[in-house]
A and B are shown apart, each in its own frame.
Chain A
């Protein structure tokens, strides 16, 4: 029982970070109808920013989120303004090629600067655990990262629901032309949405940096993961991405314990296929007619 609780809780904690990745992708898709295949590479850039902050400036990875978030927001906004805004009306293949290309540029640039060596951030707490009772102990960095994720998600939720800009972003996602007729500058909303999506991905990168290998190609794993999370949750649904992230975190964690860690990705994809078989629009998705 303790083992079950242990892996369930760990799964939820890691799922929080996955949720952050998924929410970023779903936000970008919701507003732009563009699938961002550079999402994992943006996360990777966030990891390296954290690495730089840690090794060169001695800033703690979790504290560095305060810098990573705004920097990645600006980076994402720049990508949208300079590249993505130009292909919004292009065919899907061209949009996909563009984001894949941007991702390749990011990973190759990072490889030029840092080589493809694996980097590690080892903090005093990297492998420390916290006993929560009942024989269950949780990884401290995972726990901290989950708290940060929850805070960011709550803030984002409030922003999207309660502020004029947040509502305008949702309006743009629901009907771009109608939003334009409200006097909403939809290009600006797209820049903010891509900025936010990138900030979330970059922050996720910062949060996993203390417990993960850092290398230029690490992004591809997370692009795939982000894609699975958002499709599972329902493309464009923020709540769906949250659920999808947690569900995948828990599935990975439980199957690593009860089947084998080599099989956890297989289990995730079987789950993914099963959900799509019975609910093709995803958990929280509406079927588009």
Chain B
């Protein structure tokens, strides 16, 4: 479904991605783990065309993203929930959700999608009229994911959804991601919570200083000595 081949990228003079290869198949949950600064977010920004690759190709459902504008990528059903939630702070919960279905093709499904995300996150219905910026971190994360779902994603890309959440809530978020995947949405997940994310993943990649150094199924990586040492503290 998504295929990244030999992606290289630099912020001006600072090269941060080296020959990154990564693939996501329809129906999977694929996770990218790695330490801070490994280049995970940068990879996702290249996927959503917020940054333009130095070299390499990214295709989605067989179509080259190389010539596309960022908004066209969303129109194809490749939707990203960015790191740090990025809720529109001075818009209400409802307005934020409406922006999630800004793409014309998704507007007819707006009501259906609203029902769906309110089903997943009943809390958001109670907070409908509250300004996004005044909500707690956990609520903002729910809203960010819900907003992403409003766009009818075929591939949902999530950048560190558990960051800054209380431990109780972290477990909750991974259950929800799993649930969304069961409803037929393919997921590309970037996480620092290695144990929880590998547990729900079909496949995963480990990134270190801009390179993919390891790949395998979630269970394989959980059992891998390097992963255990570097990320699981074992």
- A residues adjacent to B (C-beta < 8 A): 164, 167-168, 170-171, 174-175, 177-186
Contact = CB atoms under 8 A, between A and B. Distances in A.
Given A164-B107, A170-B91, A171-B91, A179 B50 contact: no
B86 interface: yes
B28 to A, nearest CB: 22
Given A170-B90, A174-B89, A175-B88, A183 B82 contact: no
30 contacts: A164-B98, A164-B107, A167-B91, A167-B102, A168-B99, A170-B90, A171-B91, A171-B102, A174-B89, A174-B90, A175-B89, A177-B82, A179-B99, A180-B50, A180-B71, A181-B48, A181-B70, A181-B79, A181-B81, A181-B82, A181-B86, A182-B100, A182-B102, A182-B151, A183-B71, A183-B102, A183-B103, A184-B102, A185-B69, A186-B71
A195 B98 CA distance: 24
A89 to B, nearest CB: 13
B74 A183 contact: yes
Contacts of A171: 88, 91, 99, 102
A186 B72 CA distance: 12
B70 A180 contact: yes
Contact of B74 (A164, A175, A177, A181): A181
Interface string B78-100: 01111000111111000100111
A174 B96 CA distance: 11
B49 to A, nearest CB: 8
B75 interface: yes
A183 B95 contact: no
Interface of B: 48, 50, 69-71, 74-75, 79-82, 86-91, 95, 98-100, 102-103, 107, 147, 151
Given A180-B70, A181-B70, A174 B91 contact: yes
A183 B98 contact: no
Nearest to B95: A167
A164 B102 contact: yes
A185 B75 CA distance: 11
A183 B50 contact: no
